[in-house]
Structure 1
């Protein structure tokens, strides 16, 4: 059986999709297509790139999330914030690019 899967975001909630993927694998259900937002999108990208679920979980455990809340652009100034919705995308994109670059992924324009 094959399914298409959309993974939501929400920090730890998005990362929890690793457990969903593990259950699907155990049940013999193949994920043919994936999409996701925020942390769920990151899980989807790493899984689609061929990373194993244990490896994806380990990568999340090694991330220093405090670094992602620094230097958030607000107008022409940069502020430090602890609000997840203001997380600096450039930092996250850099990390994700590093993990995917050896798997043939290249950032768009």
Structure 2
């Protein structure tokens, strides 16, 4: 079963319940992906244009209860199942292989925000 798909007829990224997407401003995207790649697997990344270009990092949810977490400004978490508006999107990193855990994506974002 697919964890996600880009549905061009809906102009949306469709997540099932076994996937999450973490939205960051595109200006952070390259550094977050670099930090994530240094820590382990890099999952698919979708660039979505709009008033502000943003990148969606696809990941697998944390198992069990999720610890309290307040995302930094301009970061948004999308849990599945859900449709995320994604008109005219393109893959920065195409789908291939396993999804990283969402905790690894959060850690990469914290590192970028701390040293950026």
Asked if these proteins are the same fold (TM beyond 0.5), I'd say no
TM score, norm. by length of structure 1: 0.26
Larger radius of gyration: 1
- Which structure has more relative contact order (CA 8 Å, sep 6+)? It is 2
More helix by share: 1
TM score, norm. by length of structure 2: 0.25
